[in-house]
Amino acid sequence: MSYCFNPDCLHSHQENNDDEFCKYCGANLIIQQRYRGVSLLGKSQLALTVEVKDGKFPQTNKVLKILLTSYPKAVELFQQEAKILQQINHSGIPQVQPEGYFVTQVRWSTKPLYCLVMEKIEGLNLEQWLQQQSQQPITNEQAFDWLKQLLEILTLLHQKQYFHRDIKPANIILQPDGKLALIDFGAARRVTATYLGKIGVNQGITSIGTPGYMAPEQIDGSALPQSDFFALGRTLVHLLTGKHPQELPKNLQTGELLWHQAAPVVSESLADLLDSLMHHLPGKRPANTQVILAALTKAQKSKNNFLKKWQKRLRLNVPVSLSLIVLPLSIFGVFNFGNNLNQRITTNKIQNAPLCNNLTCLNRDPIDNNCDNDAKTITSNIGNYQLAYEQLVAYKVELRYSERCHATWARSEAPYRSVHYVEDRQGNIYGQITVAKDGWNRHYADMGPGKNTEIRACAKPPTGETRCTNFVKL
């Protein structure tokens, strides 16, 4: 079969035989004396892509991209895409030969065809791949691997003084060997002094990108290389949650995504890194890909890599979903908590054994007792406290559990002079502490009970609402 390249052919999608001309419109079915269309891969208002056979190199098919408009700005971007792809040699970017860009006409048509022939990269784009996986999120390890691959590609692109401007799952291909490729450089932009000067006064800059992925400054037509980092972060969030960024809740004051609770496998270190990429101010994002790669390496080595950070400090009251609160406690060994408590206390002779792990001890601080090293967050919740000028700031309270210590306690990110504690169904408080200073590190209530009971963690700020987690049965 042969696909007709004539954009005006009403039957271009129909099968043609391997003839010289289209039997519907009469246009030639071979262009540049070498390319014959095999099938339509995609079509938009601005361009279509066709898989083609190359008569000069028949062993591998290629992709032909045809611009469907003669609008000067579109032609300029199309030519720029060709230039970028010709300059970069990387397995994660489609290769374009020097003769890959050309302008031609088909028979019986007066319209010029702006064409770009590039390497055909096999595989599914990540949007298709997610659909194939029923929108199941990727693993933490997969996210680290894919983020590193994409950063290596972006490094080459940014070194050539270009930035992509349209990073999203649909523009990333997962190849059969597990490697990623970045495609569709039609929105890419060259960083020049003239361009940066125009950003300052917002003159002559076009807003290009995809809603949900493009950075706030890009919406205003002021994209920067750091805008790619924002889109990269949003893309990883989509992959880690299985949800389009526009489906996730936002902080209405800052516009930041509230995505942590929708990503049950993400580690604290990775969540922090992605949040830094998606900061609403470009100046607060990493300066370049080298900085991100260094942070990525550090995050992978972090001892906290397997701890889940449920929710970043917010400025709104955002309840944690029940699907995250009601976690399978058996994973942490909690089902055996009460029965084995006394036995474990007397038989625990391992090195670095805790100083104390029951309510009869004088010192029940989980840090002093080396209990927090292997601890897990069982459940958490978010509350608000009030600052001056009626500003609401969020705080978090968590119920923590250490299998090694057989201990449960409360931890909070609440402000100075807040009180947090562990409470059972009858209102008995088993541990309570007043926050001595702002921060996170040592805001712990002492260890709670370990018998068959239901407990929760609560925090009360000096001004604002008391917030508790759901009750959890131990």
Helix (H, G, I), strand (E, B) or coil at 83: helix
Residue pair 207/277 in contact (Cβ under 8 Å)? The answer is no
First to last CA, the chain: 67
Helix (H, G, I), strand (E, B) or coil at 244: coil
- Model confidence at 471, pLDDT cuts 50, 70, 90, reads confident
- Model confidence at 393, pLDDT cuts 50, 70, 90, reads low
Structural domain boundaries of the chain? 2-119, 124-191+209-307, 369-473
Return the CATH superfamily for domain 124-191+209-307. Answer: Transferase(Phosphotransferase) domain 1 (1.10.510.10)
**Residue 452 bridge partners (DSSP):** none
Residue pair 1/30 in contact (Cβ under 8 Å)? The answer is no
Regarding predicted confidence, which is higher, 306 or 384? 384
Helix (H, G, I), strand (E, B) or coil at 397: strand
pLDDT at position 456, please? 84
Tokens 């246009």 correspond to: 27
d(CA 82, CA 77): 9
Nearest Cα residue to 154 out of 61, 69, 40, 236:
236
Helix (H, G, I), strand (E, B) or coil at 246: helix
DSSP assignment string, 39-66: EEEEE-SSEEEEEEEESSSTTS-EEEEE
pLDDT at position 341, please? 34
What are 188-222's pLDDT values in tens digits?
Answer: 555 433 333 333 333 333 446 788 998 888 877 77
Q: What CA–CA distances, in Å, run from 13 to 52, 65, 112, 257, 423?
A: 14, 16, 20, 41, 68
Helix (H, G, I), strand (E, B) or coil at 128: helix
Lowest model confidence (mean pLDDT) among 31-35, 103-107, 333-337, 448-452? 333-337
Residue ranges in 284-358 assigned as alpha helix (H): 289-301, 322-325, 341-347
Residue pair 86/59 in contact (Cβ under 8 Å)? The answer is no
Task: Identify the CATH assignment for 369-473 out of 3.50.50, 2.40.160, 2.60.40, 1.10.3470.
Answer: 2.60.40
Q: Which CATH code is given to the segment(s) 2-119?
A: 3.30.200.20
d(CA 42, CA 406): 57
Spell out the residues 6+ positions from residue 101 whose beta carbon is closer than 8 angstroms to its own: 79, 82, 86, 115, 116, 117
- φ, ψ at 104 (rounded to 5°): -145, 180
Regarding predicted confidence, which is higher, 472 or 146? 146
| Mean pLDDT, residues 82-95 | 86
Q: Is 166 a catalytic residue?
A: yes
Amino acid of residue 250: K
d(CA 327, CA 325): 6
pLDDT surpasses 60 at 389: no
Q: What CA–CA distances, in Å, run from 246 to 61, 183, 215, 241?
A: 36, 22, 13, 12
pLDDT surpasses 50 at 419: yes
d(CA 396, CA 402): 19
pLDDT surpasses 60 at 360: no
Tokens of 308: 């889940």
- In percent, how much of the chain has pLDDT > 90? 28
**Helix/strand/coil (H, E, C) string of 133-168?**
CCCCCCCHHHHHHHHHHHHHHHHHHHHCCEECCCCC
Q: Please say whether the dihedral angle defined by the alpha carbons of residues 440, 441, 447 and 451, taken in this order, is positive or negative.
A: positive
Residue pair 462/385 in contact (Cβ under 8 Å)? The answer is yes
- Model confidence at 439, pLDDT cuts 50, 70, 90, reads very low
Tokens 């064409």 correspond to: 115
In terms of C-beta density within 10 A (0-12 exposed, 13-18 middle, 19 or more buried), how is residue 136 classed? exposed
Q: Please say whether the dihedral angle defined by the alpha carbons of residues 26, 32, 34 and 37, taken in this order, is positive or negative.
A: negative
Helix (H, G, I), strand (E, B) or coil at 238: helix
What are 112-122's pLDDT values in tens digits?
Answer: 999 999 999 89
Residue of 166, 228, 365, 372 marked active site: 166
- Model confidence at 473, pLDDT cuts 50, 70, 90, reads confident
